[in-house]
Amino acid sequence: MNSEQLLNAFSCLDDDLIERSEMANPRAGWRKWSGMAACAAVLAVTLLATRGIWQRPNAQIRSTAQFASDYTPAPGETDVVTEPAEQDEGNAEREVSGAALMLPDSVGEKIVEVTPMIESYKTDADACYVAPLNGEVNRSLPLRGAMEEYGDGVRYRVVVDLFRDEQPLAADSAEAERERERLAALGYTVAYEQVFDHGQPESAYFTLHATCDELNALPAGAYGYMLFLYGECVPNTAQNVPEVVLNGANVPVTGTEVAVSPRDTSESLTAAEARGDAAFGAYLCHAPAGFDEQEFLRTPEQLRASYRRGYEYVDWSVRAYGEADRERLVTVVAETEQYDVSLYTIPYADSVPAERRIVFYDPIFRIEDLTLELVRARAYRIDDAGDSDGWRMSFSVLYGEVLVRVSTKGVSPEWLYQELTSLG
């Protein structure tokens, strides 16, 4: 292999990946902290985490002000440290830019690498969550989104809601304290944080500062763990500026509200959840042999399953049959010219009469009419360099009032027929 071949290989990226990279947006869910204090706060959090101070129960920590006085920005790092202030925008997100910030060592000119801490992440979805069972670790949608986007290059500031037998335990309870000690003994960076409002204790939190790997491997033990990003539980409220006590030392952190936690309405499903869908779960196919990648999605209108093997795929969607679909229903199967791809040459746009195209491109067959011959009539192959030359098929099948649409590349007509006739 040579590097040109490797460069060429990037031409095989899926279109959606390429398009996604065009959408990379620095401001969506991505806000830089302002000025010295912001950077110092990052340093404080990160250095504390790396030094493991919070793993020792009675250790004292330095305030962010002390860290700020130690910190001197270096030339070339102005994009990090001199952004106009954005910190006081009400409930604005507070995140630290970059997968690895390059900050100057306070002693010399040497640049040191500091791992950013993610504590909030914006998602459009609303969600509520069920209490985790003993031994389970569940994560909020923003935390999941952040872990997916930033991966291992950062640390996450996480609030732990601890449950036993699905009942919440207070962060200042003896059991929570023992859990913190257990996790600390396992090498986790844990903290007990109190929020004060006008000098009065308002809330207390069990928090973790962890990497993606640490969160994935979190041993729940005898308890249920519900994990949130810090910003979900302690939003930045400009009118109310309480302070947080971290094991005895004060640092300026804002916010007093605590998020409610009760059913995840996430659209992404596991295979079992998708098959358990009351309306459409019974109409999903099984994964073809070797199609290792799979994804299930529920929208208000439809249930979708997608299986992948390289360039080959099975896309399967299930929804209610609607009035607009009627024009594509093949009522007379004997009229093969409506749907038989072997009767036309590629490009179909030059060979299929215009009046037949609506049905031809996506015909709907009643399950009662479906035969292996009919499925074969929708199958074609293309010898396309750089792509799979497997069978390609696409059409829809009507089961009463439920419509299943299939679009496949790489599976046989026999497999597809078998799956379609075993549903419902």
Interacting residues with another protein (CB under 8 A): 1-22, 24-27, 30, 32, 77, 79-80, 97-102, 111, 113, 147-153, 293, 310-311, 346-350, 354, 380, 382, 386-387, 392
DSSP state of 88: T
Nearest to 189 by CA among 62, 38, 100, 57: 57
Helices (H), 52-194: 64-70, 78-81, 141-150, 174-185
Rounded CA separation 57/180 (Å): 9
Rounded CA separation 201/109 (Å): 43
Query: Of 48 and 80, which CB lies nearer to another protein in the complex structure?
Result: 80
Query: Of 350 and 368, which CB lies nearer to another protein in the complex structure?
Result: 350
Query: Of 19 and 124, which CB lies nearer to another protein in the complex structure?
Result: 19
Q: Are 383 and 391 in contact (CB under 8 A)?
A: no
DSSP state of 289: T
Rounded CA separation 341/348 (Å): 9
Cβ at position 255, least distance to another protein in Å: 24
Cβ at position 202, least distance to another protein in Å: 33
Query: Of 101 and 303, which CB lies nearer to another protein in the complex structure?
Result: 101
Rounded CA separation 380/148 (Å): 37
Query: Of 150 and 192, which CB lies nearer to another protein in the complex structure?
Result: 150
Query: Of 16 and 368, which CB lies nearer to another protein in the complex structure?
Result: 16
Rounded CA separation 261/127 (Å): 9
Rounded CA separation 173/180 (Å): 11
Cβ at position 195, least distance to another protein in Å: 29
Cβ at position 8, least distance to another protein in Å: 6
Cβ at position 194, least distance to another protein in Å: 33
The β-bridge relationship of strands 117-118 and 155-164 is parallel
What is the C-alpha radius of gyration for the chain, rounded to an integer number of angstroms?
28
Cβ at position 130, least distance to another protein in Å: 27
Nearest to 70 by CA among 34, 98, 104: 104
Query: Of 35 and 98, which CB lies nearer to another protein in the complex structure?
Result: 98
Cβ at position 310, least distance to another protein in Å: 4
What are the Cα distances from residue 321, in Å, to 253, 332, 365, 402? 53, 19, 12, 5
Other beta carbons less than 10 A from residue 260's beta carbon: 7
Query: Of 77 and 172, which CB lies nearer to another protein in the complex structure?
Result: 77
Amino acid at 403: L
Cβ at position 392, least distance to another protein in Å: 8
Cβ at position 313, least distance to another protein in Å: 12
Answer left, alpha or beta for residue 213, where phi above 0 means left and psi between -120 and 50 means alpha: alpha
Cβ at position 380, least distance to another protein in Å: 8
Residues 6+ apart with CB under 8 A from 164: 134, 175, 222, 223, 224
Q: Are 284 and 316 in contact (CB under 8 A)?
A: yes
Query: Of 56 and 381, which CB lies nearer to another protein in the complex structure?
Result: 381
Query: Of 77 and 197, which CB lies nearer to another protein in the complex structure?
Result: 77
Query: Of 18 and 320, which CB lies nearer to another protein in the complex structure?
Result: 18
Q: Are 421 and 387 in contact (CB under 8 A)?
A: no
Cβ at position 53, least distance to another protein in Å: 26
Rounded CA separation 179/161 (Å): 12
